[in-house]
Structure 1
Amino acid sequence: MQKTKNLIAKNMYFPLALGLFTLIVYIGNDLVLPAMLQVTADFGVGPEWAPTSMAAYLFGGALLASFWGPVSDQLGRRKVFLAGSAFFVVCCLFILLTKNIEQFMSLRVLQGTALTLISAVGFATVQEAYEEKQAVKVMALMANISLLAPLLGPIVGAMMIEYVSWHWGFVGIALCAALSTIGLYKYMPETVDLTQKQKRSIGSVIKDFMVIYTNKRFMILALSGPIIGLPVMLWISLSPVFLIEELKLSNFGYGLSQVPVLGALIFGNLLLTRLVDRYALGHTVIIGFVLMGIGAFVLLLGLFFTDYILWSLILGMGTIAVGEGLSYAVMYRFALMASPVAKGTVAAAMATVVMVFFSAMIELSKHVYLWLHFTGLWLMCALCVAAFAVFSYPLLITIMKEREQSGVTDQV
């Protein structure tokens, strides 16, 4: 198919519909978390079940991470995505009928499969439907839409349990997901040429995954995005502990503290859309890397000037977040193009890498923080910067030189 070159209004209907669905799936975690104590009380179980909801959701994402991509390579991106999004809507409605916590968690697992449907099929479609720099812009803009989830989810969830039952949260999620599915049905393009496809065996799919996972360049690039994104993920996952429990902020103060950090990430994504046309692809990553280093240094200052540690956390994490916004979409593009295998399979492999990395590193970081407190938080952020400097940055420079020597402007 012909790739989209200009982001005029009619060419943005598909990414807007996909961005809405992405927001709804992500908010399916952020909105539900504040209601989990009410859920556990309704089912007559202890509060220790509350964190299991997020774990079940992420497990669902990992469960089909390697399934969506290869299937969409064979059956088409559009058909598979629409089926997966409809399945998500059905699961959100079926959870209303659950009678015990085990059934509830089982439906949370099934709902979570939409997480990697988005990354393995939706994002692959964006990369195939738009020319290189336009695809990077679209990914950055969709990231901004999805960032509304951690901003709005906890607030809406808290208001919901204050006035109505948690069931209405899933009703609202299902209705919004159904609306976005209708938009995707109308505007999502098919980027796979199904007339050229031949049936493939499971063995050939496994062989493709082996080719991808043994590709050193792909693995470094696929891990670069999560490495860049980990500090902000730690902020989202651990900030309730260190802001409320340790720094004694109120719930309102905690909510306000999220705005500058997540707002900085949105600013970084918007800045990327402005700069990507002016510089060679990859240049914004260099700027982002420098900003991440500065942010880690600001976090370090907070360890010595403890009276200002809150401001150090917000300013340091905000600076790191701008760096992530300038970098993540570009590194995703480079990783997707690092393997010659069908892009649905490559995107599925990337989704698996990202899911496993974040799950393992967030759990590890939690224990490091409980051991070393704010020093542990700074250490994990500093390690991310160091890992990018040692592994990702040299490869980034190599790729930029290769593209310059070959005269590449839009890699397809």
Structure 2
Amino acid sequence: MQKVPTTTLSRATLMFPLALVLFEFSVYIGNDLVQPAMLAVTRDFGVSSTWAPSSMSFYLLGGACVAWLLGPLSDRLGRKKVLLGGVLFFVLTCLLILLTQNIYQFLALRFLQGFGLTVISAVGYAAIQESFAERDAIKVMALMANISLLAPLLGPVVGAGLIEHVSWHWGFIGIAAMAGLSWFGLKSKMPDIQVSVPKRSLRYMLQDFKQVYHNKRFLIMTASLPLLSMPLMLWIALSPVMLVDELGLSSVEYGLSQFPILGALILGNLVLVRIVDKYPLGKTVLIGVPIMLVGALILLFGTFHQDYVLPCILLGLSLISFGEGIGFSIVYRLALMSSEVSKGTVAAAISLLLMTLFFSIIEIARVLYEHFHIISFAFCCLVLLLLWFTLPRTELKKIMQERAANQQF
């Protein structure tokens, strides 16, 4: 693996992450604004509201389908060229969705828009990890997460406003405009990171992926990422149907309900930035996941006591979000650095596995929700977090012990 020169975090070097996070914000709000508007979309296309979660799952599936290509392509052509091309493609698909006439065309364009997720995860994140030293990279990722979390905070409110006053079409116009603005920032401020990778055939590219996927540590750490992030993602996918259709909240009340949950995630990321230098890498994960488990139990309790269901949802998911905030960036870093293969390929392998798992879990949860409603959501969250206490926790402790033996803290 070639060593790429890294830099320290400063006001000047922060301009590239800020330009990248504007695109990340556009991609995320491309989900978080659209999900509450999906009730209006399904009405316009004359289909059941249970189609609403499919907008998110097809978005994630689109991200999975090009991960194998974009990472290695950015190794060869450079991160900057691939990232700029990906931003332009995302802008185009946001505008084309305005022409859709039925739910199938809509989901096809959502699938194509999902490519933007891989542009972020397989190219943008790899560039961040290569540009900054280890703990600075974790801080940058946490700060980027805080800014991008404005998307799920503002998205439901803006989406509710679109439903009430104008059309969901205007949401995609706004998303395309923001992504277009980020393109100019990236073109100006992103360093042109060139990783010297010899031109090789598709067979050799596949061998690199094979090497990554045969790495046991990589598989365990990457598979643990959805265990931490899926409870909140399931909430974003299902909450419009859960709160508006089932619990009878208004669109505005639905939007406001997101604030304590996603505010807790922002708080968790801020806490991580403050304490990441003070503790061994991985310690915050060991603290955060038990907090998340307590949140899942509170959530499950609420499903059996209807008088307390909404307070339990808000409290339980707030604890889950806080725990994710202090742990997710650490696990992502450890997964990315668990293989010696070039980081574009490793990031692409992470993205491919994650997006596939995200799509599968959301679709399974959607089907379960149709039959068992809110209780199925609570059980899904609990099962995901209990799974983390198996191989992922054991592997994380091994990594921490190895780092301590090598005096890496």
TM-score (norm 2): 0.91
Q: In the alignment, which residue of structure 1 is the partner of 2:5?
A: 2
Q: Residue 323 and residue 40 in structure 1: after superposition, are their counterparts in 2 closer, same or farther (change >3 A)?
A: closer
SS of 1:9's equivalent in the other structure is coil
The residue identity in structure 1 corresponding to 2:119 is L
2: distance between equivalents of 1:63 and 1:188?
26
- Could you list the runs of 5+ residues in structure 1 that have no partner in the other structure? none
Q: In the alignment, which residue of structure 2 is the partner of 1:283?
A: 283
Give matches, 1:175-186, under 5 Å.
Answer: 175-186=177-188
| Structure 2 residue 143 is the aligned partner of structure 1 residue 145 | no
2: distance between equivalents of 1:305 and 1:41?
32
Segment drifting more, 346-355 vs 54-63 = 54-63
Q: In the alignment, which residue of structure 2 is the partner of 1:390?
A: 390
2: distance between equivalents of 1:123 and 1:312?
34
Report the CA distance between 1:161 and its aligned residue.
4.7
SS of 1:72's equivalent in the other structure is helix
Q: In the alignment, which residue of structure 1 is the partner of 2:95?
A: 93
Segment drifting more, 45-54 vs 115-124 = 45-54
Give matches, 1:30-45, under 5 Å.
Answer: 30-36=32-38, 45=45
Q: Does the 8 A contact of 2:91 with 2:176 survive in 1?
A: yes
Report the CA distance between 1:329 and its aligned residue.
0.4
2: distance between equivalents of 1:217 and 1:342?
16
1: distance between equivalents of 2:374 and 2:395?
31
Q: In the alignment, which residue of structure 1 is the partner of 2:59?
A: 57
Q: Residue 338 and residue 125 in structure 1: after superposition, are their counterparts in 2 closer, same or farther (change >3 A)?
A: same
Q: Residue 22 and residue 296 in structure 1: after superposition, are their counterparts in 2 closer, same or farther (change >3 A)?
A: same
| Structure 2 residue 260 is the aligned partner of structure 1 residue 260 | yes
Q: Deviations over 1:255-301 (max 9, x none)?
A: 22211111111111111101101111111111102211222232343
Q: In the alignment, which residue of structure 2 is the partner of 1:129?
A: 131
Give matches, 1:5-404, under 5 Å.
Answer: 5=8, 7-36=9-38, 45-48=45-48, 51=52, 53-96=55-98, 104-193=106-195, 196-303=196-303, 305-404=305-404
Q: Residue 118 and residue 373 in structure 1: after superposition, are their counterparts in 2 closer, same or farther (change >3 A)?
A: same
Q: Residue 107 and residue 311 in structure 1: after superposition, are their counterparts in 2 closer, same or farther (change >3 A)?
A: closer
1: distance between equivalents of 2:291 and 2:236?
19
Q: Does the 8 A contact of 1:37 with 1:47 survive in 2?
A: no
Report the CA distance between 1:160 and its aligned residue.
3.2
2: distance between equivalents of 1:309 and 1:109?
34
Segment drifting more, 23-32 vs 119-128 = 23-32
Q: Does the 8 A contact of 2:72 with 2:205 survive in 1?
A: yes
The residue identity in structure 2 corresponding to 1:2 is P
1: distance between equivalents of 2:20 and 2:88?
13
Report the CA distance between 1:234 and its aligned residue.
1.9
Identity among equivalent positions (%) equals 51
1: distance between equivalents of 2:17 and 2:327?
20
2: distance between equivalents of 1:108 and 1:372?
27
2: distance between equivalents of 1:312 and 1:102?
36
Segment drifting more, 28-37 vs 292-301 = 28-37
Report the CA distance between 1:70 and its aligned residue.
0.7
Q: Does the 8 A contact of 2:302 with 2:312 survive in 1?
A: yes
Report the CA distance between 1:141 and its aligned residue.
1.4
SS of 1:47's equivalent in the other structure is coil
Report the CA distance between 1:41 and its aligned residue.
7.0
The residue identity in structure 2 corresponding to 1:70 is P
The residue identity in structure 1 corresponding to 2:143 is L
Report the CA distance between 1:63 and its aligned residue.
2.1
1: distance between equivalents of 2:96 and 2:245?
36
Segment drifting more, 207-216 vs 115-124 = 207-216
SS of 2:389's equivalent in the other structure is helix
1: distance between equivalents of 2:272 and 2:181?
29
Q: Does the 8 A contact of 2:162 with 2:171 survive in 1?
A: yes
- Could you list the runs of 5+ residues in structure 2 that have no partner in the other structure? none
Report the CA distance between 1:374 and its aligned residue.
4.0
Q: Does the 8 A contact of 1:73 with 1:344 survive in 2?
A: yes
1: distance between equivalents of 2:88 and 2:286?
40
Report the CA distance between 1:402 and its aligned residue.
0.1
1: distance between equivalents of 2:402 and 2:280?
12
Report the CA distance between 1:353 and its aligned residue.
1.0
Report the CA distance between 1:78 and its aligned residue.
0.8
Q: Deviations over 1:182-224 (max 9, x none)?
A: 111111123333xx33111100111111111121111110011
2: distance between equivalents of 1:407 and 1:149?
39
Q: Residue 356 and residue 243 in structure 1: after superposition, are their counterparts in 2 closer, same or farther (change >3 A)?
A: same
The residue identity in structure 2 corresponding to 1:30 is D
1: distance between equivalents of 2:67 and 2:17?
21
Q: Residue 332 and residue 252 in structure 1: after superposition, are their counterparts in 2 closer, same or farther (change >3 A)?
A: same
SS of 2:390's equivalent in the other structure is helix
2: distance between equivalents of 1:390 and 1:269?
25
Q: Does the 8 A contact of 2:35 with 2:236 survive in 1?
A: no
Q: How many residues align?
A: 404
2: distance between equivalents of 1:374 and 1:39?
23
Segment drifting more, 236-245 vs 92-101 = 92-101
